[in-house]
Chain A
Amino acid sequence: MMKAFALILALIPIAAAAGAAGPDCSVVPGWTQKGPARSYVADNLFEYMDGNAEGYLIYGFQKMQGVTCEKDGDTLVIDISEMADPDSAYGIFASNRDSQQPTLPIGMAGQIQPRRAIFVKDKYFVEIAANPAKDHTAALKAFVTAYEKSISGRTTLPDALTWFPAEGQVKDSIRLIPESVLGLRILKRGYVAQYDYGKAFLVKEATPEAAAGVLAKWKARIGEVRPAQLGDEAFQATDRYLGGLYVFRKGPYIAGFANLKPETDGAPLAAALASRIP
């Protein structure tokens, strides 16, 4: 049994290698590698990016392969990070994208700006930073296109993203929060979407019972809550920092809205969200 387990574990990197090879400068004609290739794992990522490494580890960072390419005095710093799973890879992408710029259909999602391109495909998060300061869009597009083709795997967004009602949703605002959704430790990991009138959240617990337990703790912590018409455990409340709250449970999911303005009725919004959660 142990040997079989060890064998399965030993095969993991091979499977990963099939998903994404290390970055290669020659995929775009005219570009050559500058210096040695880079490779980092969780325990030495700090050597590469100092304090920013925490922002990767929290999304289940596994390893990073990188290379710097140059052509005619321009350089591209290219890094491909392997995360724990496609959801986590989307999570780090959403956390790092420029929320004021559009998201493009590259792999699962991507962004190309004059000096920076990022995209996510399957469990891989690809980042390219360009120097010096000028518009590198053409080169970035060429590399993104090449790498997008070279990485196999999932191109569809995590299912949970489609559960948030579209009406009133701020475009490209859904994030995977890897810890402490709404800044609360009891809400361990989940999605948050911004709306014109507040924000929706969705947290999955292991079982319906566990979700009910979390909800009960949260209610107790808030203290003064009002019942809500969405199942037995739903509640409304007003929190100093989270504003108007409308919270419900559906199976193992805890979901609802926060930061609702006083004039906003959370009931129809929560009902719409609940109806989309399977």
Chain B
Amino acid sequence: MSDSTRRDFLAAGLILPAALQAAPEPAAKADLRYRVLGKTGLKVTTVGMGAVLITDPSVVARAADLGVNHFDTARDYQGSNSERVIGPVLKSRRDRVVIATKTGAETRQGVLADLELSLKELQTDYIDILYIPGRKAAAEITDELLEAHRIAKQQGKIRFTGVSTHKGHAEVIPAVVKNPHVDVLESSYNFTMDPSIEALIESARKAGKGVVTMKVMAGGYKNGADAERRRGAMLAALKWVLRNPNVHSTAVSMADTDQLEEDLRAMAEPFSEADRKVLLAQLEHIGPLYCRMCGRCEGACPRGLPVADVLRYLTYADGYGQFAMGRQKFLALPAETRSVRCGDCPSCPVRCPFGVEVAKRLHRAQEIFG
């Protein structure tokens, strides 16, 4: 995507028709907003707690007391210790919260066995949403897995079936839309993604699916940004996600009560021009660190540079402080590739659809690694 398109994409948050903006809900203990999770009928807070990093039950308790009612965990988060942390806290509040978990088991027997463990760890008789996680292709939503979910629903152990996806949206989301046995879609969704994601998310909402989003900060940037700027960008990124009425709730990783309170602000505050500027600055900061490996630059360099690979090596150095690793990878390239100098070309025909300044970044890689 070009810079201008990216800016338009971000600006879209400012010009949504008023009718499409979420109607304000009565405030609870914090200034909360709720949306109904598609045909499930579950009314959830637009910000939910993602429990992958939870270590202290006090954060879960405070979230629940403030009125957050959507908790998203997984069997393998912290080797099931995430379920163990949140289960005892939510036990006394079970009728007021929606609990979602995931099992990576790929067989009917495995899913049902994992479900029993989740019920035990979460200290509950039922799971509201059990996800089939991390689907990359439509074929990965197998009949066997859906059969396991059907049995679990029949037994009253789960209420709804979800499918989560981090990549392969163009194939997985239409498959979810078409599948009557899937009730909820959980998808990565953030301000760095291709705008085509918008129509996919909308199609899921229109099909009556509950739509939960994740990775509002584009995944692995935690190590790359300084804490203060990251926190500011986090709030803006969260507001950007919530400005979309097709999103019912989002699972946000929260490690402490400070972050919890910051994240809750996103529910009540509209996405503003100031937020757009914060995200543009964040894009500028992380853009070079975020080669999406889409492959669209493959073969585009007339000198034969493996552009995406070199950008990734530079990411190791600039984004994650792993200079040695980046250099080692660069030095493993064939000698004729390593000897290419982008400065020798009068202009660069390689264009990144996501706005990475390719020639400048390649030049830097050649300078620091070469």
Contact = CB atoms under 8 A, between A and B. Distances in A.
Given A133-B110, A184-B256, A54 B78 contact: no
Interface in A59-113: 62-63, 95-99
A6 interface: yes
Contacts of B50: 51
Given A57-B223, A133-B109, A99 B327 contact: no
Interface in A198-237: none
Contact of A43 (B107, B110, B319): B319
Nearest to A46: B219
A242 B320 contact: no
Interface in B341-369: none
A179 B258 contact: no
A56 to B, nearest CB: 10
Given A41-B320, A50-B134, A51-B74, A180 B255 contact: yes
B81 A99 contact: yes
Contacts of B61: 241
Interface stretch (B7-15, B52-60, B151-159, B272-280): B52-60
Contacts of B316: 41, 43
A185 B107 CA distance: 40
Interface in A1-55: 6, 9-13, 41-47, 49-55
A255 interface: no
Contacts of A242: 58
A95 B255 contact: no
A52 B52 CA distance: 7
Interface string B214-255: 110001101100000000000000000000000000000101
A41 B328 CA distance: 13
A180 B256 CA distance: 6
Given A42-B223, A55-B52, A133-B113, A11 B256 contact: no
Residue of B81, B289, B315, B324 ringed by the most chain A CB atoms within 10 A: B324
Contacts of B327: 6, 9-10
Nearest to B105: A133
B265 interface: no
Nearest to A199: B56
B356 to A, nearest CB: 13
A141 to B, nearest CB: 19
A179 B58 contact: no
B79 interface: yes
B134 to A, nearest CB: 4
Contact of A10 (B80, B220, B253, B328): B328
Interface size class of B (residues with CB under 8 A): 35 or more
B74 A52 contact: yes
Contacts of B253: 54
B76 interface: yes
A41 B325 contact: yes
B312 interface: yes
A161 interface: no
Given A51-B166, A51-B214, A183 B319 contact: no
Contacts of A175: 55
Given A95-B79, A183-B59, A183-B257, A43 B315 contact: yes
A231 B63 CA distance: 34
Contacts of A13: 324-325, 328
A44 B58 CA distance: 32
Contact of B55 (A96, A97, A180): A180
A43 B134 contact: no
A109 to B, nearest CB: 13
Contacts of B78: 55, 95-96
B55 A46 contact: no
Task: Select the residue from A42, A95, A99, A182 with max chain B CB neighbours within 10 A.
Answer: A42
Given A42-B220, A42-B223, A241 B113 contact: no
A135 B166 CA distance: 32
A99 B328 contact: no
Interface in B278-310: 289, 293
Contacts of B222: 54, 57-58
A62 B322 contact: yes
A59 B204 CA distance: 35
Nearest to B221: A43
Contact of A182 (B53, B58, B320): B58
Contacts of B328: 10, 13
Contacts of A45: 220
A177 interface: yes
A55 B220 contact: no
Contacts of A53: 219-220
Given A50-B134, A57-B222, A63-B325, A96 B79 contact: yes
A177 B77 CA distance: 15
B123 interface: no
B84 interface: yes
B55 A177 contact: yes
19 contacts: A6-B327, A13-B324, A42-B220, A42-B320, A42-B322, A43-B220, A46-B166, A51-B74, A51-B214, A52-B76, A99-B81, A133-B109, A133-B110, A179-B53, A180-B255, A183-B256, A184-B258, A185-B256, A241-B61
For the complex of A and B, list the 4 residue pairs with the smallest distance between their C-beta atoms, beginning with the closest: A96-B79, A180-B256, A183-B56, A241-B58
